Amino acid sequence: MGEFKVHRVRFFDYMPTAIRAMAFNSRTERLAVARTDGALEIFNFADNYFQEKVIPGQDGRAVEALCWVGRRLFSGGLNGEITEYDLENLRPRYTVEAYGGPIWTISGKGTLLAVGCEDGTVKMFEILEQRIQFQRNLDRQKGRIISLSWHPSGSLIAAGMMDMIRIFDAETGRATHRLLVERGVGAPKSKGVVVWSVVFLSDHTIISSDSAGKVQIWDGLTGTLVRTHLVTKWDVLALSVSQDESSLIAGTSEGTVVQFQFISSTVDRQEKDWVRTRTFKNHSHDVRALVHTDTAVVSGGMDTQLVVRPLLDKVEKNTHESAMRKVAFPHRSLVCCAKKAGLLLFQFPDHLELWRLGDSDGHGKPDDILPVKRKPEKLIQLKRKGEDHICCSALSPCGGWLAYSTVTSLRLYRLQNNNISITKVSKLPKDRRSAHQLCFSTDSSKLFASSSNGSVVVVALSQPECRYLHTLKPKSGSRQTVHLLAASEDGKWLATANTDCEIHVYSLGKLTLHCTVPVYSSCPTAMAINPTTSNLVVVHADQQIFEYSLVQKEYTAWSRRLQKQGLHYLWLERDTPITHVAFNPKNPAHIILHDMFMFCIIDQSLPLPEAKNVLYNQMTLRSLPEPERIRHSHAFKICKNFQHLMCVSLLEDHSLVVVERPLLDIMSQLPAPVRQKKFAT
Amino acid sequence: MAKKQRGRTASSSKTETQTDSFSLMLESSDDEAPEEMTFEDSKTAAIRSMKQALETARREKELLKEKRRKRQELFQEQKKRKLLPADVLEEIDSALSKKQQQTEGEAAEEEEEGRKKRRRRDKRGHGREVSGNCTVTTVKERASASSQQQAAEDFLRSRLYGPGSCRTTSNEMLSLQNKTGRNKSAAVKFVKEDWACEEKAKAEKLRKRWIHEQQIPSC
């Protein structure tokens, strides 16, 4: 494996924001997740829950509800605006003011979008080809509309409000029923009960969840209460029902998700009833958003993690599919490391931090902690301009240039490191408004910026002025933006990958398309070009590794051997994607990969592990005598000493930088959880 | 409001003058030795002074009336000045009616176009174009929107984290997890950093002063 001096970096105070709303599109198997800072994430459930797309947030865009209509995604927020998103160019397409005060909920059916507002109106918007248009208001009510649910036929709408549920006739706009929800026991009279969520089933059953901790089942035809389930002492914040309406889940402030099923309570009885069946506790804080897919319960909330919990009666037991998934970190790198200068750039939504790594002159045995001679220091904290959050950033390998982009603007800065100074490069080419991914060439002479519709812009960097050189465009019809960029060390190649799983390699000398890597069904999560062999190493969301020779335009022999033999089953069972690929300049056969829980050095010269081999064999190897080791060693050398990794990178002086962010640190900074009494504490 | 105030001040001044005259009389009687006065004399004097007082009051009232009248006139004058002259107004009126006739005469298509234009103008949002480069936008509406947003967020916060929501801190939750978990470890946060802030600041200040005091005698 080799020995490295490791910089163990723990000063990246990355703090994810809470999940506020979710919406699942069962046709495309995409989950949209809205966070409290207004950021939107798209997860592909068909491709190992990979976080395909991220639309950065904006100040004041407090997204409160999400809704898919076909392939279009709409959100409503407390700023009173309805936003449709452009999922190809990763930006809001347009916003429409609803003129009803803050929007609490949004729900689509067919070509209509119903919006529940603070002023007590349910507003209907017609979804047109290019935009949405206000159609009419339903009867205005006193008090805010917190939740909405369409009857599957589209003729009725149930609206959850303060202290009651209203049923509207969608055609006439008249309120037909009023279901009064009673206050919790012992609650003060002044504090009304909030109907946080409501679900309208096709048999006219209405299910509501409220702030008194109840899940109530109502008959929507007569407007009578059928059954009350007291679930918690706190609020029941979210509800979701499966598509076949046989199972319902409710998320509470305690962090539990309670499942109800529509079954007959005793074996011999025919009539069915909603019965509380299971309780999941996967969250430490409030569950604010829930989705019931066909096979799993997806939940998210204040503890910022997305949890996918497969239902064991729907999937095969003890398989890869039945394992629980937690997504805690973004599936892309927020850290940029300048290899030559020993600088680290940390990306936050509203600022960037530039740090110089510490230094130590000590020599020690493996596993020793060396004394720090020079402490790491924060050189620059750069606040972003405008109200859009930062979507990507990059630091040049020499540490002399810094670039970041928001949805609306791209900014480039020149850094002087000996006397720390930063100057903005004002003369950027005019039409280079924004970028989705940024990358500097190794000699810091060029900046590559992934632009709209899958094109990549090449900008030449020089001191007084930066010049636009070329736009690289793929020939294929894909309009998805490029989410990965990798430039080769010798400046000859640039590899780009988009979310349609296409990988294009451009020749930078001729500025033309060199070749296209055969399309694999899973999305690339990380890639890099080997500096000595010019082989492109690509890792996909399903954990497969490919090596493609750019000179011969074919997969290398090692890659073919790996595919033939197959990866170790433990490697395939890992549940976080590889987010960074690096190489060891001293040994070209070494590939350094990392995910959230481990980093791995793949030695291409060693035999591949077979299924009967132990994958994590570092400890056993150490205990063996020297000559025996060779017989037992295999290509995958995995280190789990450092946990919850944000970045692993190799510096030019052959020392390893490991950026950690322990989940415990994140957890200790979260907002207040509910107070639960535990026996004997 | 203004009128009321004015009235009040006027009345107060009136009373003042009356008291002044009385005090004058008193003074005169105070200085000299008491003179003999017939009842008639005193009566006439009293009547005179009463009359005087009434007169002054009336005069003041009239003055006030005059003042108001003048003000009224001024306002009317200003109003007139603001309005365009009658001939100009007439001209505009006639022009408008002409235009209407024209539009009515024109084909339906053009009318639609005009409508579109108007709609486009509407779509521009709160902004309205005045001549040249400047635009006028309403500031108040946006402010109210943000205040509404703030109110909505406050509602949410008060419901979830407000009084009666029974919340604890994450630190306590973590320590509880540590207690009930299988492998016990050190507490996540040993030190309460926000504990006794004022005392700490005070101590720091005292320490600095002490160091300063120590240094002075030595040099």
| Structure-derived torsion over alpha carbons of residues A69, A73, A74, A78, reported in degrees to the nearest 10 | 140
CA distance A124 to chain B (A): 19
| Contact flag B145-A79 (C-beta cutoff 8 Å) | yes
Res A189: pLDDT: 76
pLDDT, residue B84, reads 65
Residues of B in contact with A104 (CB under 8 A): 152
Q: Count the domains in chain B.
A: 1
Chain segment A136-165, per-residue pLDDT in tens: 999 998 889 999 999 999 999 999 999 999
Torsion, Cα A50 A55 A60 A64, to 10 degrees, reads -50
Structure-token pair, residue B199: 């005392």
Report chain A residues whose CB lies below 8 A from the CB of B159.
194, 211, 235
CB contact under 8 A, B149 and A60: yes
All residues of chain B having their beta carbon less than 8 Å from the beta carbon of residue A185 are: none
What was the pLDDT predicted at A473?
Answer: 87
Instruction: State phi, psi for A183 to the nearest 5 degrees.
Output: -70, 155
- Residue to mutate among B138, B166, B168, B173, with most A CBs inside 10 A, is B173
Q: Can you tell me the distance from the alpha carbon of A351 to that of A13, in angstroms, rounded to the nearest whole number?
A: 12
Q: Two tokens at A681?
A: 């504490």
Tell me which residues of chain A have a C-beta less than 8 Å from any C-beta of chain B: 60, 62, 78-80, 101-102, 104, 118, 144, 187-188, 191, 194, 211, 233-235, 253, 284, 286, 664, 667-676, 678, 681
Q: Å from A237 to nearest chain B CA?
A: 10
CB A367 within 8 A of CB A354: no
Residue with tokens 């008491």: B34
Which residues of chain A lie closer than 8 angstroms to B166, CB-CB? 233-234, 674-675
Please report residues of B whose CB lies closer than 8 A to that of A144: 152
- Which residue from B minimizes the CA distance to A303? B170
CA distance B172 to chain A (A): 9
Residue in this structure with the two tokens 């030695």, named with its chain if needed: A603
**Cβ pair B165:A211 closer than 8 A:** no
Tokens of A477: 């019809």
ipTM of the complex: 0.86
- Asked if A468 and A457 touch (Cβ cutoff 8 Å), the reply is yes
- Asked whether the predicted pLDDT for residue A596 surpasses 50, the reply is yes
State whether residue A61 is helix, strand or coil: coil
Could B149 and A79 be called an inter-chain contact, meaning their C-beta atoms sit closer than 8 Å?
yes
Query: At A666, is the secondary structure helix, strand, or coil?
Result: helix
Is residue B72 one of the residues assigned to a domain?
Answer: yes
Q: In this structure, is residue B17 part of a structural domain? A: yes
Residue A16, pLDDT > 50, answer yes
Nearest CA in chain B to A235: B160
Residue B18 lies in a domain: yes
Asked if the Cβ–Cβ distance from B152 to A78 is below 8 Å, we say: yes
Chain-chain contact of A668 with B168 (C-beta, under 8 angstroms): no
Closest residue, chain B, to A102 (C-alpha): B149
In angstroms, the Cα distances linking A19 to A241, A299, A300, A388, A449 are 19, 9, 6, 19, 29
Q: Tell me how crowded residue A181 is: count the other CB atoms within 10 A of its CB.
A: 26
Segment A600-624, tens digit of pLDDT: 999 999 889 888 888 887 777 878 8
- Supply the mean pLDDT for chain A: 90
Of B167, B179, B188, the CB nearest to A674: B167
A359 vs B69: CA distance, rounded Å: 88
Min Cα distance A672 → chain B (Å) is 5
Closest among A509, A546, A513 to A527, alpha carbons compared: A546
In a domain, B65, yes or no: yes
Does B136 fall in a domain? Answer: no
Residue A296's closest CA among A317, A324, A272? Answer: A324
Calculate mean pLDDT across residues A220-237: 92
CB-CB neighbors (< 8 A) of A78 in chain B: 149, 152-153
Residue in A188, A672, A681 closest to B176 by CB: A681
Return the amino acid letter for B193: E
Lowest mean pLDDT among A191-200, A334-343, B121-130: B121-130
Q: Which residues of B touch A672 (CB under 8 A)?
A: 161, 167-170
**Closest partner residue to B170 among A233, A672, A678, by Cβ?**
A672
Tell how far CA B213 is from the center of its chain. Answer: 52
Mean pLDDT of A582-593: 91
Q: Is residue B76 in some structural domain?
A: yes
Secondary structure of A395-457 in HEC code, one letter for each residue: ECCCCCEEEEECCCCEEEEEEECCCCEEEECCCCCCCCCCCCEEEECCCCCEEEEECHHHCEE
CA B45, CA B56: separation in Å to the nearest integer? 16
Domains in chain A (CATH in brackets) are: 242-328 (no CATH), 332-473 (2.130.10.10)
Inform me whether the pLDDT recorded for A658 exceeds 90: yes
Size of interface A-B (CB pairs under 8 A): 75
Q: What is the spatial distance between Cα B219 and Cα B217, in angstroms, rounded to a whole number?
A: 6
Which of B169, B174, B179 minimises the CB distance to A681?
Answer: B179
- Take residue A274 and report the two structure tokens written for it: 């909603």
Residue to substitute from A37, A281, A666, A674, interface B, most B β-carbons within 10 A: A674
pLDDT of A210 over the 70 cut: yes
* Interchain proximity A664–B145, CB inside 8 Å: no
A512 alpha carbon, distance to own chain's centre: 33
A83 neighbors A75 (Cβ within 8 angstroms):
yes
With beta carbons less than 8 A apart as the criterion, state whether B22 and B53 touch: no
Instruction: Please tell me the least confidently modeled range out of A18-22, A235-239, A477-481, A504-508.
Output: A477-481
- Please tell me the distance in Å from A579's CA to the nearest CA on chain B: 28
Contact A668 B188 (CB under 8 A): yes
Pairwise CB contact (< 8 Å): B145 & A668 = no
A183-192, A280-289, A396-405, A549-558 — which is least confidently predicted?
A: A183-192
Contacts of A444 (CB under 8 A, 6+ apart): A396, A397, A398, A400, A401, A461
Mean pLDDT of A470-477: 83
Chain A hits for B160, Cβ within 8 Å: 235, 253, 286
Look at residues B120, B125, B119, B123 and name the one whose alpha carbon lies nearest to residue B139. Answer: B125
Chosen for mutation from B124, B157, B159, B170 (greatest number of chain A CBs closer than 10 Å) is B170
Structure tokens that stand for A279 in this block? 């309780």
The residue segments making up the domain with residue B24 are 2-28+44-82
- The C-alpha R_g of chain B, in whole angstroms, comes to 41
End-to-end CA distance of chain B: 71
Q: Considering CB atoms only, which of B160, B171, B179 is closest to A286?
A: B160
Closest residue in A to B126 (Cα–Cα): A97
**Which of A57-71, A405-419, A506-520 comes out lowest in average pLDDT?**
A405-419
3-state secondary structure of B106: coil
CA atoms within 13 A on the CB side of B110: 6
Give the residue from chain A lying closest to B151, CA to CA: A102
Question: Are A674 and B174 a contacting pair at CB < 8 A?
Answer: no
B49 is a domain residue: yes
d(CA A538, CA A546): 5
**Cross-chain residue pair B166–A234, CB shorter than 8 Å:** yes
Contacts with B169 from chain A: Cβ below 8 Å: 672
Is the separation of the CB atoms in A534 and A549 below 8 Å?
Answer: yes
- Using a CB-CB distance cutoff of 8 angstroms, which residues of chain A are in contact with residue B145? 79-80, 101
Whether A425 and A466 have beta carbons less than 8 Å apart is answered as yes
- Quote the distance between the C-alpha of residue A548 and its chain's center: 28
**B interface residues, A as partner, C-beta within 8 Å:** 145-146, 148-149, 151-153, 159-161, 164-174, 176, 179-180, 188-189
Write out residues in chain B with pLDDT < 50, as ranges. 1-29, 103-127, 129
CB contact under 8 A, B168 and A667: no
Residue range A577-592: average pLDDT?
A: 92
How far apart are the CA of B74 and the nearest CA of chain A, in angstroms?
43
Alpha-carbon separation of residue A299 from A37, A248, A287, A292 (angstroms): 18, 13, 7, 9
* 3-state SS track over A270-321: CCCEEEEEEEEECCCCCEEEEEECCCEEEEEECCCCEEEEECCCCCCCCCCC
Are the C-beta atoms of residues A259 and A278 closer than 8 Å to each other? Answer: yes
Chain A CB contacts of B188 under 8 Å are 664, 668
Structure tokens at B75: 């306002």
Q: What is the pLDDT of residue A148?
A: 94
Asked if residue B120 belongs to a domain, the reply is: no
The minimum CA-CA distance between A543 and chain B, rounded to whole Å, is 32
Distances (CA, A) of A310 to A19, A231, A248, A297, A328: 20, 22, 14, 6, 17
Q: A678–B176: do the CB atoms touch at under 8 Å?
A: yes
CB contact under 8 A, B152 and A60: no
Chain A residues within 8 A of B187 when measuring between CB atoms: none
Q: Is the pLDDT of residue A536 over 50?
A: yes
Label residue A84 by pLDDT band (50, 70, 90): very high
Interchain pair A667, B176: CB under 8 A: no
